[in-house]
Amino acid sequence: MAASNGQRFASAARATLQIAAQRGRVHSSRSSTKGRRLADIATTGSDQLARRALFGFILTFIASRTVVLLIMAQRMPNLYFFMRGTHVHHLNYGIFLLAGVGAYVLFGMPGGRALRISALVYGVAMALTFDEFGMWLHLGGSYWQRASIDAIIVVAAVLALVGFARSIRRFESRHLIASVAILFALLAFGVVLYDASMRIGRLEGPRLRELELSSSP
């Protein structure tokens, strides 16, 4: 009888140890998966993600402006989306896309390739939204508002700063002269560009607004 009780006790002990070992393996597997995900995020780096976002941002901005100009000039079919006569501007696509990317990154916690793709899509969504910054800032008005261009420049500058800040830290003294020269050249170019854009805006602004109105029903 005592031997039988001992056997049952030993069998129960072995079963308990097996369950504990299985739970330990599951916990270890989960911990290793989480560790690999965090390692992917750390390896990718915020600067690499910012550069991908900047690439998607600039590419989408150029593409959207080109498409709008081609539609206004009647060089391509009218691809605008209208809902009961209301023009659904592409800033709405950007808002929904930003909401989706934010939810995916927050709750899905992607790593590696998925995280890099998310950064690219984030840049696309930011461009679609801020390309019409003037319209949602003033709750209307023309697509060609100066505020939209200013917002695009600011967002691109912030992404570029995050993306290339580490490279700036590695600057040496021999790079200083070249950097100062480039800075002055960019400032001079900015002044000339601003003056030219204001002049072009006064000359071509009415024509662009007429084309914009003519492309809508």
| Residue 119 three-state SS | helix
How far is 2 from 73, CA to CA, in rounded Å? Answer: 97
pLDDT for the residue numbered 217: 52
Walking along the chain (217 residues) 10 residues at a time, the average pLDDT comes out as: 53 59 55 54 73 93 86 79 81 94 92 92 95 85 79 87 71 62 70 62 64 61
Residue owning tokens 């007429």: 210
- Where do the structural domains in the chain lie, given as residue ranges? 1-44, 45-214
> Closest Cα to residue 159, out of 130, 137, 195?
130
pLDDT for the residue numbered 93: 93
For 171, the enclosing helix (H) or strand (E) is none
Q: Label residues 38-52 b or e (16+ Cβ within 10 Å = b).
A: eebbeebeeeebbbb
Contact yes or no for 127/153 (Cβ under 8 A): no
pLDDT for the residue numbered 57: 95
pLDDT for the residue numbered 26: 46
Distances (CA, A) of 150 to 38, 51, 82, 155: 36, 20, 27, 9
Copy the structure tokens of residue 121.
């899509």
How far is 116 from 24, CA to CA, in rounded Å? Answer: 32
For 82, the enclosing helix (H) or strand (E) is strand 81-83
Query: The dihedral of CA 41, 44, 48, 49: what is its sign?
Result: negative
Distances (CA, A) of 149 to 32, 38, 144, 155, 194: 46, 37, 8, 10, 11
